[in-house]
Structure formats: structure tokens, C-alpha cells
Amino acid sequence: MRFYRRLQPFHAISFDLDDTLYSNQPIMLATDTKMVRYFKDIFNAQSSAFDFRFWWPFRQQALLLAPELKHDVGLLRQKSYFLGALSLGLTDAEAAMFADNALDYFVEQRSNFTLPQHTHDFLGYLKTKMPLVAITNGNVDTDKIGIAQYFTHHFHASIENKLKPDRDMFDKACLALHLAPEQLLHVGDCGKNDVFGAINAGCQTAWLNPYQVGKALKVLPTIALDNVEQLTKIVS
């Protein structure tokens, strides 16, 4: 654990989820493989026809039609599926149903994992000390992976909740907790989305990058952690 700024008293902790509490990359790779098989079964086509290279142009098209979708990875994926289905000859109604079902399957599969008991023990302990909040750009189902009960509030990026590093979700978390921004300690792996975003909102930050996928630091966090369990040493 390394301190880069003076740690002020804090009264709640917010967590990024993907690649902070668990390694998300292998989960997403496995999910992508399952999605290719899913599309192959639906369209009776070769599996290679429906990898990311097929859907990417429709993602870009969706963003051109509705730039605000950049804040909601779920709706963006759904719109991409809809546009791709239209290109394959489905009607609007058929494409809409296909996109809804495909997104449901995607979220189910990307949330199809379990966390080790020590993560539950760690979150359970922190919950007894102060409120915990989830602030994520992703769309993992916290109920399905078994951690929803540890958080008093959940903020998922959406049209209404702007994507980190925008300060929107940090501001809303502080408002919901009735705290000044400096009384919230945000924990995350990304130097841009988590550290810069939280500092820009006036919050304190705890940075860790255990899976080496988060963007590099551009501003120093309050503290850097070797592992997330070190938080127990600074919570009174």
C-alpha cells in the first residue's frame, strides 16, 4: 500500500466492479464465444460469421444514429443487434425481438460466474463498517453473481447515468449517501475512468490494477493498493 495524498476521513466506499473485484477479461472472452454459437444456432450459419467483426459496423452505425448510446453499453449492444438483424432480412418486429433476446442471453452469460468466498467475506466485513456503493460502466448482474446485498446503491452507466470518467455517477452516489465528495473513497482499476473520474468529482481514490487491463494513471490516486483486501487496514 502506498500513499500519494493525505487520506482524509471517509464515510463510504464505492467500487468499480469489472477488473476490480474480479478479472473480467476471461469472462468476456468466454461470453463472446457463447454468443457466436448462439447466433450460429439462430441463423443456421457458420460460427465465424457472427464474431465481433460482423457486429462492429452496426455498433458504429448505432452510435452515429444515437451518440448518447455511448453511455449505455447494454442499449448500444441491443441496437447493434437490431441493426445487424435488419441487414439479414428480419422485419423490424422480428429484429426487435431478436435484439431483446440476444441482449438478455448476453447479460446472463457475462454474469455466469461465482466469486471466491474471501471476496464475500471481505465485502461483508466492510459493509459492517460503512455503506458500500457500486459504480460501474458495465452491465454485470450483481444479483446473479451474488454481491448485490453488499451495496446500498448501484449505479450502472446508462443514458441517465453518464459513463465514467464523467463525474455524474460519483455526484449521484454522494447525493444518495448524503455525503460531501471528499467523504467518499472510490476504488477502481482504471487510471482514467476511476482515478481521474473520482478525483474530478472531488472524491478520494484507491487505485489497484491487479489484472493489468486498466488505463494508466494520469493523476495520482490518494492511495495505491496491492490488493483490494488492504482496504480493511484503513477502515475503522
Residues 18 and 125 in one domain: yes
Q: Please report the pLDDT score of residue 46 as a whole number.
A: 56
Last residue of a domain, one of 86, 110, 134: 110
100 is catalytic: no
Last residue of a domain, one of 110, 126, 148: 110
Residues 175 and 229 in one domain: yes
Residues 96 and 121 in one domain: no
CA distance 3 to 224: 6
Q: Please report the pLDDT score of residue 59 as a whole number.
A: 96
Residues 227 and 124 in one domain: yes
Give the domain CATH number at 42: 1.20.120.1600
Helix (H, G, I), strand (E, B) or coil at 97: helix
Q: What are the average pLDDT values for consecutive 10-residue runs of the chain, which has 236 residues?
A: 95 97 95 92 73 92 96 96 94 97 97 96 96 97 97 96 97 98 98 97 95 89 94 89
Last residue of a domain, one of 110, 141, 163: 110
Q: Please report the pLDDT score of residue 52 as a whole number.
A: 83
Long-range CB contact pairs, 115-123, < 8 A, 24+:
115/21, 115/22, 115/145, 115/146, 115/147, 118/229, 119/21, 119/22, 119/147, 120/146, 120/147, 122/228, 122/229, 122/231, 122/232, 123/147, 123/150
Residues 143 and 220 in one domain: yes
Q: Please report the pLDDT score of residue 48 as a whole number.
A: 58
| Per annotation, catalytic residue among 16, 18, 72, 194 | 16
> Into how many domains does the chain fold?
2
